[in-house]
């Protein structure tokens, strides 16, 4: 049985878990494109705080792209699951080829979503990182690693649903983890949404434009 009708409803429910951050000018919500952006929009709107994006790309195993062997994020950060790569005998050349493809796509999306707008300054701010769920957590790991370099005051990871063990794994890595639901067995993020259709580039831009009109800059 699905827990959420769609990502927007999931964001509205997640926002209730984050009420202590409402109306705070030092707080910014960063959605992980593409699926995390509708969730993040609803969170930012409910909390009346700023919204932006943080780009992360999963490095998928060739032929089994849903299996993450790592991730990359804005700021030149690359995170690899070395143990999985060794177990599956994935060569360095294969990883490099996958990474190069994903870097090109990350740069394309950065331009498509932001245009001429610069990325936000998060130094000394509280950053709430939002995605539509956590399975392996590879994308979120990359985002957290990259964000640390930008010296925020506090990092909060917030998702509507997560694998219990993945949610627990972040507890020692960030200041706070909010996983609204941790079903067991997990069975993947999409299993808990009635509508888990892909968020488009156009929709991401529209959410950012709507947020700029509705929310603090």
Cis bond before residue 34 (omega within 30° of 0): yes
CA atoms of 183 and 186, how far apart (whole Å): 5
The per-residue pLDDT for 110 is 86
Residue 216's pLDDT is 57
Distance of alpha carbon 151 from the chain centroid: 18
Mean pLDDT of 134-150: 88
pLDDT of res. 208: 92
Least confident of 71-80, 85-94, 206-215: 71-80
- Residue 132 three-state SS: coil
Q: Summarize the confidence of residues 60-78 as an average pLDDT.
A: 80
Q: What is the pLDDT of residue 74?
A: 79
Instruction: Catalogue the long-range contacts made by 205-211 (C-beta closer than 8 Å, 24 or more residues apart).
Output: 205/112, 205/113, 207/31, 207/37, 207/38, 207/40, 207/41, 207/51, 208/37, 208/51, 208/52, 208/53, 208/113, 210/41, 211/41, 211/44, 211/45, 211/50, 211/51
Domains of the chain, CATH where assigned: 7-56+122-214 (3.40.50.2020), 58-113 (3.30.1310)
Q: What is the dihedral of CA 140, 144, 147, 149, to 10 degrees?
A: -140
Q: What is the pLDDT of residues 91-118, one digit of tens each?
A: 889 989 999 999 999 989 988 998 777 7
Q: Which of 180, 188, 191 is nearest to 163 (CA)?
A: 188
**pLDDT for residue 70:** 84
pTM: 0.86
């Amino acid at each position: 049985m699905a827990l959420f009708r769609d990502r927007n409803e999931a964001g509205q429910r997640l926002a209730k878990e984050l009420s202590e951050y409402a109306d705070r000018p030092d707080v910014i919500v960063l959605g992980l494109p593409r699926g995390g952006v509708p969730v993040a929009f609803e969170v930012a709107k409910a909390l009346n705080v700023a919204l932006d994006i943080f780009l992360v790309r999963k490095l998928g195993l060739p032929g089994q792209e849903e299996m993450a062997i790592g991730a990359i994020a804005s700021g030149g950060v690359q995170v690899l699951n070395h143990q999985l790569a060794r177990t599956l005998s994935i060569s360095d050349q294969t990883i490099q080829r996958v990474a190069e493809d994903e870097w090109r796509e990350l740069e394309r999306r950065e331009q498509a979503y932001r245009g001429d707008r610069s990325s936000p300054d998060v130094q000394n701010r509280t950053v709430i990182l939002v995605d539509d769920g956590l399975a392996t957590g590879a994308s979120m790991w990359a985002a957290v690693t990259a964000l640390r370099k930008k010296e925020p005051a506090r990092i909060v990871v917030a998702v509507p649903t997560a694998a219990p063990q993945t949610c627990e794994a972040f507890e020692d890595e960030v200041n706070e983890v909010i996983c609204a639901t941790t079903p067991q067995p997990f069975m993947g993020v999409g299993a808990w949404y009635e509508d888990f259709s892909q968020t488009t580039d156009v929709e991401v831009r529209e959410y950012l434009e709507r947020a700029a009109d509705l929310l603090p800059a």
